[in-house]
Copies of this chain bind each other. A is one copy, B any other.
Amino acid sequence: MITCSLERMTNLIDTFSKFGATGHGGITRFSLSKEAIQARDEFVKRMKAIGAQIETDDIANVYATLPGSDPNAKRIVMGSHVDSVMNGGNYDGILGVMSAMEVLTTIQKEQIPHIHPITAMIWTNEEGSLYPPCMMSSGIVCYDYLPENVRSKYKEENMMASKGDTMTFQQAIEQSGYKGDKKNRITPNTYQYMFETHIEQGPILEDHHKDIGVVDCVLGMFNYRLKFYGQTTHAGTFPMPKRKDSFLAASHALIELHKRIDSLGYKDLVYTTGEVSCHPNLHTCVPDYFDFCIDVRHEKKEVRDAVLKIVKRFEDEMWDGCICKVEKAWERETVYFDKQLIDYVEESAKELHTNYQRIHSGAGHDAQFAAYMLPTTMIFVQSKDGLSHCEQEYSSPEQCTQGASVMLHAVLKADQT
């Protein structure tokens, strides 16, 4: 069987790791930044070199297409993103772009016949680091297909006005040199299937000694915020028993929250309280306000609902003299990928003799929005120690090449339909 090139993949990893390198092994490459433009330029240069036709749409998504034998066939697209979080790693997002490039390059170099045009794609602003929310351009492009509760977050005019560090997202697009025509956007009229290769960002594959994950869904999730209202008083003058310390309140509540959720006994549930704010956040003041968000993910709605019931029970509970208020941020249902495409990925992984398993995606990806619009699926590559969104992110060149080879053969199977 034809496989992708380890040599070319190694070169791609080395090359793209330089755009926004932090000097500590990782990258900071915010969407449409100078560093991200370097990565896009490299993509365009290499794709032009294999004869791909380059297009961009009005939100700076980039498409590189090799024509197929049927001029009327819709395109098969493979894509991911080149932007990163602050001090991120060399694989999240960019691996999917490099894999798409490598698949297209293999097809061209090996003269592999195919019916459909095949496209490698860069989605703009997946991380949302400078311009929230994340998965912005897939949210905009797939807007009409999104469920109502998700859609509200991705209203195009709001996205365009969203303020980054020094300019709006619209201004960043104008200045990027990558603004194209709206008619070039990916749509079901012109595109047939979408594939995204990505690092797992978790330790499950490694723990099971697997290199490749055949992804079947993106977990449903909800995000709520627990807010604690106390009273600011001076650190030096206010007796302890009269205080209403919202940080202490939140700490007690957090521990109780863990206790209550853990008592449900769901082994594969994940929940995270990763974002806090504290006011006035001064060493001389008892904090009058503290909040943290809780992000809960599980495939099954009944499991998420059981946890949500626990979260909501905190409403109006008193903790250390502080009242707790519970606020919904957002939620989304589990997104299941296309069964036929999942099978193509699994068959390809098997035929290539890779170590693979079926897996859910706990993280959100552009593919999950595309899945509302087109038959879509994903391929995961093992993440060393499960680490992601940090400079230690690592997948071996061999594993990355395997991931690309699996995508190549899944695409070629899909090409037959």
Contact = CB atoms under 8 A, between A and B. Distances in A.
A294 to B, nearest CB: 8
Interface in A377-391: 386-390
A23 interface: no
A218 to B, nearest CB: 8
A68 interface: no
B203 A242 contact: yes
Interface stretch (A51-59, A105-113, A163-171, A271-279): A271-279
A282 to B, nearest CB: 6
Copies of chain A in the complex: 2
A31 to B, nearest CB: 16
Contact of A237 (B233, B254, B258, B363): B363
Given A85-B280, A247-B274, A282-B275, A236 B255 contact: no
Interface stretch (A5-13, A40-48, A145-153, A284-292): A284-292
A136 to B, nearest CB: 15
A359 to B, nearest CB: 10
A269 interface: yes
Contact of A283 (B85, B239, B247, B274): B274
B236 A288 contact: no
A278 B254 CA distance: 15
B239 A389 contact: no
Contacts of A387: 231-233
Contacts of A258: 248
Query: Which of A87, A204, A223, A270 has its CB near the most chain B CB atoms (within 10 A)?
Result: A270
A140 to B, nearest CB: 20
A137 interface: no
Given A248-B254, A251-B255, A288-B390, A239 B274 contact: no
B281 A238 contact: no
Nearest to A278: B276
Contact of A386 (B202, B238, B251, B254): B238
A295 B235 contact: yes
A240 interface: yes
Contacts of A389: 232, 234, 280, 282, 284-285
A200 interface: yes
A221 interface: yes
A118 interface: no
B235 A297 contact: yes
A17 to B, nearest CB: 19
B272 A276 contact: no
Interface string A244-269: 01011011101100100000000011
Contact of A363 (B254, B284, B329, B388): B284
A38 to B, nearest CB: 24
Nearest to A269: B240
A386 B203 contact: no
A121 interface: no
Contact of A255 (B201, B238, B252, B362): B252
Query: Which of A87, A221, A285 has its CB near the most chain B CB atoms (within 10 A)?
Result: A285
A159 interface: no
A388 B237 contact: yes
A373 interface: no
19 contacts: A86-B280, A201-B236, A201-B237, A203-B242, A221-B236, A232-B389, A234-B386, A235-B297, A236-B363, A238-B270, A240-B269, A242-B386, A248-B255, A251-B255, A272-B284, A274-B281, A275-B281, A283-B295, A284-B295
Which 9 A-B residue pairs are closest in the complex by CB-CB distance?
A202-B237, A236-B362, A235-B272, A251-B251, A237-B362, A236-B363, A201-B234, A275-B283, A201-B237
Given A202-B233, A274-B278, 8 more contacts: A221-B236, A237-B386, A240-B271, A251-B252, A251-B254, A274-B282, A282-B389, A283-B293
